[in-house]
Structure 1
Amino acid sequence: MVQANPQILQPMLQELGKQNPHLMRLIQEHQADFVRLINEPVEGGEGNVLGQLAAAMPQSVTVTPEEREAIERVSIAFS
């Protein structure tokens, strides 16, 4: 999944860091092992570990009223 959509890796890692800082620290300490793990196929299933994590992650975020206003300003600027 990461090979097909490399842009998903950074947002997923950021969310993981928010939800589980200890796991994020372990990933940073063992980057080579992590990269190998996310790229290898999952036994008994399709895709890889990161692909399965992406499917399990929420597809929406909660924003504050101030963040919503900023998003709307950017949206208007680019429309």
Structure 2
Amino acid sequence: MMESTSEIMNKGMKCLMEQMGIIEAERFISVIIRVKFDYTKWQRDYFDAKTPMEIREEAFQFEREHPFTGDAIRL
């Protein structure tokens, strides 16, 4: 079943607050709104500026820092 918009927003805010704290999460949201942030463009610019080897190394680094445990995160 598809989640409602409010359920997705609640999960997103919970993630932001857990990772950034409430103040930084609120600042992040205000910046996104103020600058009319285009995530798709940002992602394109970010990855276009990297070589495949850089992306590969970042993925390996992420895996080293966040190893898969098989436990799903429940929000």
Calculate the TM-score normalised by the size of structure 2.
0.34
Calculate the TM-score normalised by the size of structure 1.
0.33
